[in-house]
Amino acid sequence: MADLDGITIGITAERRADDFVAALERHGATVLHAPTIRIVPLPDDTELRAATDAVLAAPVGFTAVTTGAGFRGWLSAAEGWGLREPLLERLGASRIFVRGPKAAGAVRGEGLREESSAPEESNAELFEGLRAAGVRGARVAVQLHGTLLPELTGLLRASGADVVQVQPYRWLSPENAEPVHDLVESVLAGRVHALAFTSAPAATNLLALAGSRREELLAALRGPVLCACVGPVTAAPLEAAGVSTVQPERQRLGALVKLLVAELRVRPS
């Protein structure tokens, strides 16, 4: 008998969803996959191209890299536009601050080197480090991932920085929301034991797409349904809504799967 036989888990991810589903199913879980967001294809993202052009328009004093995947995606798109080498040259001349080891790995993989890495892998720590470094009068290129962080970029602007926001992997609502509505109904009917989240936008948009059932959904998430998040950034929208979450020590998909197994195999199905 597998660890998660008789357990149903809902996941909302689009990126790496196949890997996530397969890993959970290997442990015997039934998985309901309902992507709550869709990602704008990088080569077609006119806003990303405009932001890249803005970075290249003048020297950059600081670069903030929030995610390894986002940084690599940005460079991949730039390569398609014939701008990869100029972009690397521009960023390489700046002081690079990263959110954690995955972002640092992506930076080093391109032959660049970070000056500082946030030990706790939090955006708040990353941006506070930038402010402490002295950004007044400097242009700061901020690579975001999926969603804007106005409360943090605003702090840089308040400190006198000229912030250029670069947002690979912008998200929109899914073209077909029916699977999401089905997932919500399954949660409310008591057929789902856990929901797993790998991005803050996915968590945010699940609550938005629940519509008139939002409060009922929140009540279920505050009660019998386990909410597992890959890290504190992902958990933030749920925690803000009064939903307790569990998170693995390492912010990795494999660690999230192990956490779900550990939490759910001791629960009655």
Same domain, 131 and 197: no
Same domain, 118 and 179: no
SS3 203: helix
Residue type at 13?
A
- What six digits make up the tokens of 257? 């799967």
Same domain, 23 and 47: no
Cα–Cα distance measured from residue 62 to residue 91, given in angstroms and rounded to the nearest whole number: 8
Same domain, 138 and 19: no
Domain count, the chain: 2
Q: What is the mean pLDDT of residues 16-34?
A: 93
Same domain, 88 and 178: no
Among 60, 70, 129, 68, which residue's Cα sits nearest to residue 95? 60
Of the pLDDT bands very low, low, confident and very high (cuts 50, 70, 90), residue 172 is confident
Provide the pLDDT for residue 1: 60
178 CB neighbour count, 10 Å cutoff: 9
Q: Tell me whether residue 1 is in a domain.
A: no
Same domain, 137 and 189: no
Give the pLDDT confidence of 183-220 residue by residue, as tens digits.
999 999 999 999 999 988 899 999 999 999 999 999 99
Q: Tell me whether residue 3 is in a domain.
A: no
Same domain, 155 and 89: yes
Q: Is the model's pLDDT at 17 over the cut of 90?
A: no
Same domain, 93 and 212: no
Query: Which runs of consecutive H residues, i.e. helices, occur in 65-149?
Result: 68-80, 84-92, 101-109, 123-133
Same domain, 17 and 46: no
Q: Is the model's pLDDT at 156 over the cut of 90?
A: yes
Provide the pLDDT for residue 267: 60
Q: Is the model's pLDDT at 223 over the cut of 60?
A: yes
Same domain, 166 and 224: no
What's 118's domain CATH number?
3.40.50.10090
Give the pLDDT confidence of 127-142 residue by residue, as tens digits.
999 999 999 999 999 9
Same domain, 96 and 189: no
Of the pLDDT bands very low, low, confident and very high (cuts 50, 70, 90), residue 268 is low
Last residue of a domain, one of 105, 140, 171: 171
Q: What is the mean pLDDT of residues 104-127?
A: 94
Q: Tell me whether residue 269 is in a domain.
A: no
Q: Tell me whether residue 2 is in a domain.
A: no
Whole domain around residue 139: which residue ranges?
42-171
63 CB neighbour count, 10 Å cutoff: 28
Share of the chain above pLDDT 70, in %: 98
**What's the chain's average pLDDT?**
93
SS3 195: strand
Q: Is the model's pLDDT at 65 over the cut of 80?
A: yes
Provide the pLDDT for residue 35: 95
Provide the pLDDT for residue 16: 79
Same domain, 177 and 231: yes
Sheet holding 30-33, edge to edge: 30-33, 8-11, 194-197, 226-229
